[in-house]
Structure 1
Amino acid sequence: MNKQQVEKGLVDILWGVFASVRLSVIVLTLLAVTSIIGTVIPQNASPAVYVDRFGEAAYRVMSFLDIFDMYHSWWFQLLLLLLGINLVICSMDRLPAVLKIIGKTQRLNPEAYRKAIKGETLSVAGSPSEVAGVLSGKLKAPMGAFTPVDEGETRYLFAEKGRWTRLGVYVVHGAVLLLLLGGLLGSLFGYEGTLNLAEGESSQVVRLNGSNAAMPLPFELRCDAFSVSFYDTGAPKEYRSDLVVTEGGAEVLSKQIVVNDPLRYRGVSFYQASYGTVPPKSATFSFTSKASGMSYPLDGDFGQPIAIPEGLGTFTPMHFMNNYRFHGRSMGGAVLGVLESAEGEATRLALPVKSPGFDRMRQGDVVIAVADFPQRYYTGLQVTKDPGVWLVYAGFLFLIAGCYITFFMSHKGFMVAVEPTLTGSAVTLYGNTNKNRLGMEMVLRRLTEKLDREAISPERQVER
């Protein structure tokens, strides 16, 4: 056996493996099982969540196998690739035989049709040639164009429809390939992440889910404004973000987004997902002297000392805490700062925004409160990029069309036999189909009943 024969034998073996339905069943089963695992086990959560749930040893094994991001893992992509190759080779292996059937002319063989599905026989007046002429006009729409064949005094009319429907299964195969290709493109080149933007700020960096890695955007996104409305219960009712896309310093797109109405630009979608408050850059504080009873409202920037009148020292607001707790009780947002007396003694203070009298408990020479606090929000955006999404949409459309062709349409052949009788002619409808034999029987029955109702001739009766 020479080298060429060995190579040919190896190719035939590989072709047979990838053209087998068994491989399709195995790969589809593996995809189904792994998809269930990916649904049961949360994807792209923090490592602490997995360690707490499965233990450190199981976490290391599952992390090595990419179970926590399985839809982007090499082995899941390999399964998709195997299924795609299997579908292509299966189609290539079987398509030539189907094309051969589609390209053949209809067999004008009366004996073959007499062994197929037979309808009822109608007795009508008129010679076979006259009756056949009438029937070719009446039955052209449901059966197709007829080819007449004469055998003695008997005339046969042959027709067929839907030869192309044999390609329906290959439309389904093509749809699945589009879905697989779209999924692979999204897995390889797409991403999901988050972007938090405070009002008036810009960014062109997205934090990826799971890894928290930085993904640069080819443009800059700015949040000009954010608004939120609340129900009477205090729960958020609706929140909106005014977003602007800039490139090269020029504004190219602006849109106000709400939940389920994203901004899309250059294949990247920004969804309204959450919101929150951001630390203010400045605030107005009220300083009340215990000795004089005078109150002094003064503006101050965070990190910068504010001189208190009457020589009562300085106060430096350091930062803002969203949820300050005092003896286990939540006080809400609070400004944390340092009060330095005229003698140089430093005291750390917490000033809850919603409790202006909180500092009175300190019983110092000056009572400090937050008089005006400009509330600033950030908008939480879910960012997705999926370059294969249009292929997936196209795949679903082709899948619907292919399933309809495959399950509800068929290749049908018809024969109308018009035979001479003593009183005129006998008309019998025959049919053949590659699937849905019961459906063909119903078609022949309806057509026979239609011909009987329309009175092909004044003298007719139904014979079984």
Structure 2
Amino acid sequence: MTASDSSTPTDFLSLWRQAFRYLVKIISDLRLAIILLLIIALFSISGTVIEQAETLPFYQKNYPESPALFGFLTWKVILLVGLNHVYSTWWFLSLLVLLGSSLTACTFNRQFPALKAARRWAFYQQPRQFEKLALSTQLDINTLSSIAPLLEKRGYKIFQENNSLYARKGIIGKIGPIIVHASMLMILGGSIWGALTGFLAQEMIPSGAAFQVKNIIEAGPLSTAQIPTDWGIKVNRFWIDYTPNGNIDQFYSDLSVINNQGQELDRKTIYVNQPLRYKGVTFYQTDWSIYAVKVQINNSPILQIPIAPLNTNGQGKIWGTWIPTKPDLSEGVSLLAKDLQGTMIVYDNKGNLYSAIRPGMAVEINGVRLKIHELIGSTGLQIKADPGIPFVYTGFALLMAGVIMSYVSHSQIWVLQEGDRCYLGGKTNRAQVSFERELLAILDHLLKTC
């Protein structure tokens, strides 16, 4: 029989328990929690500085290999590490899980035992026990019966046994740290749940068109249930309000939620910072564009011709299109527009400026009568679903409540009566000066009345 054969299941169970206790001790270490918080904060900052969920050409243009930002940060590094979608990477979620585990272990290993100890009655039976208190005194009076009402007036809960008295208040201060930990766990859980089940999409929809969410930019592995399939959105109208000097004041989208049969389920006009929310999906107004222009050549039917943004090298937005004036497309005119206010510029076949025109106006060019009926705008919508947000908001509310509770002092007072001699002392975990004043006021009252 070998040494290994002599091992019993009890031995293995004991080893597992020791290993588990050691692991819990490491995880519940405050230093580990602080390090994890710093790492999470660092990568959260990177997710704010580095644009998230952009296209590959965007990163290649803004983070080239030569010269690399800070000497190492290139588009390849960003895509390899996942800095283009930090908050949903496996390693960032793992950091959140590890921090949550640390907080949970700390709560059960330290906070609950501290609360249990604070709730335990602790009578002093010997005068020497008062020597370890920073605030203690002796009185040559019999005061045990008269001190209890004074303490109750000041909010203390009284416990008395024979000639000993124990009083405490501020137990809520011991509950506060537990609430703080629970709220942080809720925030972490909400963040993880949102990353796993949420999605982000963008759509550019012309006025009057209906759509279902298709252009998904980022989605969690469990987000399928959140992406709407039995309802969509119709853009009833998109328009822009301009200031007197011609700058954009605000842009609006009148949106209707419709089912697959086209019936309206909800309706709202959205603008920046005023989104539409429906069944956990939020539609934000983020951008705009010019989609098409409606024109008529002589007595032809009204034609809708697409219009596209032109490259101005950062000199502002301009949209342009080419309108044929002959059936064989041998001749035409160019039409430029910079906004939805209506003024457009017409260039002839040779590229010369011909005229300025507004919707409803007509111009004679290339032997035909060209009438502009309408410019059609399109609204840029950011569509987001994050089922974890209610948990995160609730967690932050609990966090504030827990922090406030944690500032409540937990004060304890002991009294021991031996004959005509009374021993009195106390301690608190914070607000030491206020506690000293309170204790002195109690003593002063006792000396005056006894």
**TM-score scaled by length of structure 1:** 0.74
Which structure 2 residues correspond to residues 262-277 of structure 1 after superposition, within 5 A? Answer: 262-277=275-290
For structure 2, the residue ranges without an aligned partner over 5 or more in a row are 1-6, 67-73, 337-342, 355-363
Identify if the C-alpha distance between structure 1 residues 23 and 238 changes in structure 2 by more than 3 Å, giving closer, same or farther: same
Does 2:102 align with 1:107? Answer: no
Q: 1:326-377 CA distances to partner (integer Å, 9 max, x unpaired)?
A: xxx9996555133338xx7922432457346857969999444643331222
Equivalent residues in 2 for 1:298-317, closer than 5 Å: 298-302=299-303
> What is the DSSP-based 3-state SS (H/G/I as helix, E as strand, rest coil) of the residue aligned with 2:290?
strand
> Residue 140 of structure 1: CA displacement?
1.0
Shift of the 103–246 alpha-carbon distance from structure 1 to 2, 3 Å rule, reads same
Contact map agreement 2:210 2:233 (CA 8 A) in 1: yes
2:325 is matched with which residue: 324, 335, 339?
339
| Distance of aligned partners of 1:98 and 1:226 in 2 relative to their CA distance in 1, 3 Å threshold | same
Q: 1:261 to 1:456 in 2, by over 3 A?
A: farther
After TM superposition, the structure 1 stretch with the greater mean CA deviation from structure 2, 426-435 or 31-40, is: 426-435
**Structure 1 residue aligned with 2:92, among 76, 82, 96?**
76
The answer (yes or no) to whether the contact 1:189–1:387 under 8 Å persists in 2 is yes
SS at match of 1:277: strand
Distance across 2 between alignment mates of 1:302 and 1:65: 49
One-letter code aligned to 2:408: M
Q: 1:90 aligns with which of 82, 101, 106?
A: 106
Q: Does 1:198 align with 2:206?
A: yes
Q: 1: distance between equivalents of 2:132 and 2:109?
A: 31
Once the two structures are TM-superposed, the CA of residue 29 in structure 1 deviates from its matched residue by 2.9
Counterpart contact for 1:258–1:272, Cα < 8 Å: yes
* Matching residue's letter, 1:339: T
Give the 3 Å change call, closer, same or farther, for CA 122–242 of structure 1 in structure 2.
Answer: farther
8 A contact 1:143–1:159 mirrored in 2: no
* Match of residue 386 from structure 2: 386
Range moving further from structure 2, 345-354 or 72-81: 345-354
Residue correspondence of structure 1 range 17-416 to structure 2 within 5 A = 17-56=26-65, 58-95=74-111, 97-109=113-125, 111=127, 112-113=129-130, 115-118=132-135, 128=142, 133-148=145-160, 157-209=165-217, 216-218=227-229, 219-249=231-261, 250-280=263-293, 282-285=294-297, 297-302=298-303, 319-321=306-308, 334-340=320-326, 346-351=330-335, 354-355=344-345, 358=348, 366-368=366-368, 370-406=370-406, 408-415=407-414
Are the equivalent residues in 1 in contact too, given 2:295–2:370 (CA < 8 A)?
Answer: yes
Give the drift of 1:268. 0.7
Letter in 1 for 2:331: T
Gaps of 5+ in 1: 286-296, 304-317
SS in 2 for 1:242: strand
Counterpart position of 2:70: none
Measure, in 2, the Cα distance between the counterparts of 1:23 and 1:330: 50
Amino acid of the structure 1 residue aligned with 2:344? K
Structure 2 counterpart SS, 1:410: coil
Range 375-384 or range 344-353, more displaced: 344-353
RMSD over aligned Cα atoms:
3.8
Aligned-pair CA distance for 1:164: 4.7
Residue deviations 1:48-93 (CA, integer Å, cap 9, x gap): 2322343359433331221221211111111111111122222222
Secondary structure at 1:346's aligned position in 2? coil
Letter in 2 for 1:189: T
Q: Could you tell me which residue of structure 1 aligns to residue 358 of structure 2?
A: none
* CA distance in 2: counterparts of 1:319 and 1:237, whole angstroms: 26
Q: Higher mean Cα deviation, 251-260 or 383-392?
A: 251-260
Q: How many residues align?
A: 408
Amino acid paired to 1:437: Q
Secondary structure of the 2:121 match is coil
Q: Secondary structure at the match of 1:279?
A: strand
Identity over aligned pairs, percent: 23
Q: Deviations over 1:368-389 (max 9, x none)?
A: 4643331222222221111100
Please identify, of 268-277 and 351-360, the stretch whose mean Cα deviation from structure 2 is larger. 351-360
Offset, 1:245: 0.9
Residues 200-256 of structure 1 show CA distances to partners (whole Å, capped at 9, x for unaligned) of 211112423479xx9852321111122321101211112222211122423221112
Q: RCO higher in 1 or 2 (8 Å CA, sep ≥ 6)?
A: 1
Equivalent residues of 2:151, 2:167 under 8 A apart: no
Corresponding residue for residue 432 of structure 1: 427
Native 8 Å contact 2:238 2:253 kept in 1: yes
Q: Distance in 2 between matches of 1:255 and 1:189?
A: 26
Cα-to-partner distance string for 1:150-199 (whole Å, 9 max, x where unaligned): 65xxxx65321133532322211111110110110111111222222222
C-alpha contact 1:119 1:445 (8 A) present in aligned 2? no
Equivalent-residue separation in structure 2 for 1:443 and 1:35 (angstroms): 46
CA distances 1:261-280 after superposition (whole Å, capped 9, x unpaired)? 21111111112222222103
TM-score, reference length from structure 2: 0.76
Structure showing greater Rg: 1
